[in-house]
Each structure stands twice: as structure tokens, then as C-alpha cells.
Amino acid sequence: TEDSSTAGRGGDVRLTGIGKTYGSFTAVHPLDLTVPQGSFFALLGASGCGKTTTLRMIAGLEEPTSGTVHLGDQDVTALPPYKRPVNTVFQSYALFPHLDIFENVAFGLRRRGIRSVKKQVEEMLELVQLGEQARKRPHQLSGGQQQRVAVARALINHPKVLLLDEPLGALDLKLRRQMQLELKRIQTEVGITFVHVTHDQEEAMTMADTVAVMNAGRVEQLGSPADLYENPRTTFVANFLGTSNLIEAEVDSASGGELTLKAGGGKLVLPEARNSAGATTGGRVLVGVRPEKISLTHADDAGEIPGGRNRITGRIADSSFIGVSTQFVVDSPVCAGFEVYVQNIDRDARLVPGAEVVLHWNPAHTFGLDAAQSPL
């Protein structure tokens, strides 16, 4: 029997030194990446970062300039797309308009010469919850339904890996959200590896077990959605996945697993465990905190704030009601001209623009970044 701890399983995707240049332009710098079998993996980044090129190299649609692609133990680098145990779903669903839904899904089986397709096609249509639509034509379905047909068609030949290239890009926001949950459910049910390309951070966070954040042809950080959000290691990742409220500070002292920082005349605490850049006494560090971790108290009530919290004083510059919360923009000398966004569900009539406030949060929610980077 195979030793599963060392041998690649069929649905593992292993990229080794894979890179792509176009003339003198490097679209993807050589990168190493392993996607474990059965996981939902997202390549996330802004337009032009190289995520689609990476996906296309896994599919065999783009020839790498360097490196190898393994699926399980098989080196597929030299194989054409149709000989790889992968299938791709594109943003343009590319359904056959003249065939009904049943025949669209059956296509891959029929092409392989399989005659009795009924049971398999019906199972697939059940999986994507389109059992009732089998005899309709693509144009009679909604965008979300058409996308589900494309998924069923891609899954019918039991690929080991399904590649999804911005599959929800053509859908409106509400439908996108429904389809995110739907794709996640399908992936869990079939248990095969999904590699999903998107520029939408919420989409990647909602669906993926692991997210690779790409920037300028490199993977900047790889991790679970929660880890990337709570422990970003670069300003790019911190800012791409939400608002990060970055503050420039100097390390004053270090003891008991904590760094004490000086920032604009105030004092902040950064737990050593969250000091990813390894700042030391006398050095500089960029510290961040997510907006929803911050509480906001009117300066008149500052005495009620419990001890041991990081505090910043400031003045409300702006506030906007956004349903579940109110978003405040606070100007503070500590933030050296930066604005601080705060979400706070407490209603307090005094919390209006111009009001003096104290922002405070549990130091455990502070993260430290290399100060050599631009905070923006």
C-alpha cells in the first residue's frame, strides 16, 4: 500500500518553481505551492497579478517558462489539457446553445463514447439542483443556473481537480453570494480539489479553506481566511483584506511577551506573538488593528474604560450609518494624519462629528508589520 504521508494523492496539486515570462515581462515569478487533495483553494489578487496565468498553467492552457506541475505523483507539465485529470469552469459559461441542459452535461461522457449516460447526468443535475431543468435550453435559464450547468458539465468526467476562473464574475452581487455558498456545498459534497481564481476578497474568504494572496506575480501570503485577516504579514495583505488602520510606532521596551510602543505621544502594547516583522527595542514597527475590534467611547466617559487596553484619543471626523453598525472616521495625532475607521453598534447621541473620543481595544488584536513598507 502507498504511504499517504509522502506519496502525492491523486488530487494534490504541486507546483514547483513554476513561472511564466512574456518576453522581458514576468507574469509569474517562479513559485512553489501545494494544494492538498480535497481542499478549496483560492488564488486572490488584483487584476494583472498573475493568478489566471497560474491557473492556466495548472490546466495546461499556458506553457510555463520554468518549473513543473504535478497532480498527485504524476508530472503533467508536458501533457496537453485534455490529458490532465482536471477541468476548468470559466466566467463565460461556454454552454452549447443548441443543446438542452441534459445534453450539455452529458457531452463529456458522450465524447468518450459512453452510451448509457442517464443515471450519471441525472445525479449531476441533482447535485447542482437543476433536476427540473433538464429539458430546457441554456438561454431559458438564469445566469446562476447556467453557471451551475457549467459546473455539472465540468464535474461529469470526475476530474481530480476542478479549476474555476472567476466563475461568478458575470453575476450580480446577490446571486454571487448565493453561488458562493452553492459552490462550497458542491465542493464539500464531491470532495475533490477546487482551485478558484478571484479578485474579490469576500468571495475568497467565504469559500476557501486556504487562500494565496498574489501581488505582482508572487504569492505574498498563504493561509486560512481567518489567519490572513488576523495576522497579515505585509501592508498589501492587510489592506487588500479589509481596513487595517496602520499606525507608525517605535518599540520602547520589550518584556513579558509584550512590546511597549510609543506612537504620537501615546503608548500601545503589541504582543510578541503578533510581532511578525520581529521589531526590537529602538526599532520601528507599523501596527494595525481591524475596525471592528475597536470600541469607541466619548471622552467624558474615558474613566469607565477598563485598564490594560490599547487607547488612542481623537476627534470624530465623520460617521455613517451602515445598517448593522456605524462607521466612524476619527482623526488622531497618534495616527499621524491617518483616519481610523471604527464600527460600533452602540448608539450614543454624543458620538457626532467634532466629538472628542477614546478608541480602545484589546492589545491581542494588534498586529505588527515591517515598518520599511509603505503603510498604504
Question: Which chain residues interact with ligand ATP by CB under 6 A?
Answer: 22, 25, 27, 45, 47-53, 199
* Cα separation, 335 vs 322, whole angstroms: 24
Cα separation, 106 vs 374, whole angstroms: 53
In the complex, least distance from residue 207 CB atom to ligand ATP, rounded to whole angstroms: 17
Minimum distance between the CB of residue 162 and ligand ATP, rounded to whole angstroms?
18
List the helix and strand counts (H, then E) for the chain: 8, 20
- What is the closest distance, in whole angstroms, from the C-beta atom of residue 43 to ligand ATP in the complex? 8
Contact 273, 324 (CB under 8 A): no
Alpha carbons 322 and 324: distance in angstroms, whole number: 6
By C-beta, is 21 or 362 nearer to ligand ATP? 21
Complex with ligand ATP: residue 10 or 48, whichever CB lies closer: 48
Nearer to ligand ATP, 4 or 24 (CB): 24
d(CA 69, CA 64): 9
Minimum distance, C-beta of residue 149 to ligand ATP, in the bound complex (Å): 23
Exposure on the CB side of residue 327, measured as CA atoms within 13 A: 9
Output 218 or 284, the one with its CB closest to ligand ATP: 218
**228 vs 284: CA distance, rounded Å:** 22
Question: How near is the Cβ of 180 to ligand ATP at its closest, in Å?
Answer: 18
CA distance 307 to 190: 50
* Look-up of cell digits 506573538: 273
**118 by DSSP, 3-state: which?**
helix
Grid cell, residue 41, equals 483553494
Residue with smaller CB distance to ligand ATP, 198 or 313 = 198
CA dist., res. 367 & res. 272, Å (int): 9
- Taking the complex as a whole, the smallest distance from the CB of residue 22 to ligand ATP amounts, in Å, to 3
To the nearest whole angstrom, how small is the minimum distance from the Cβ of residue 58 to ligand ATP? Answer: 12
Write down the least CB distance from residue 49 to ligand ATP, Å. Answer: 4
Collapse the DSSP code of 284 into the 3-class scheme (helix H, G, I; strand E, B; otherwise coil) and give the result: strand
| 342 in Cβ contact with 322 (< 8 Å) | no
Q: How far is the CB of 218 from ligand ATP (least distance, A)?
A: 12
How many whole angstroms separate alpha carbon 110 and alpha carbon 75? 28
What's the grid cell of residue 208?
476557501
Of the pair 50, 368, the CB lying nearest ligand ATP is at: 50
Nearest-CB residue for ligand ATP: 52
Q: How far is residue 43 CA from its own chain's centroid?
A: 7
Cβ proximity to ligand ATP: between 60 and 108 the closer is 60
Phi, psi for residue 131 in degrees, rounded to 5: -55, -35
Smaller CB separation from ligand ATP, 105 or 212: 212
The nearer residue to ligand ATP, 46 or 181, going by C-beta atoms, is 46
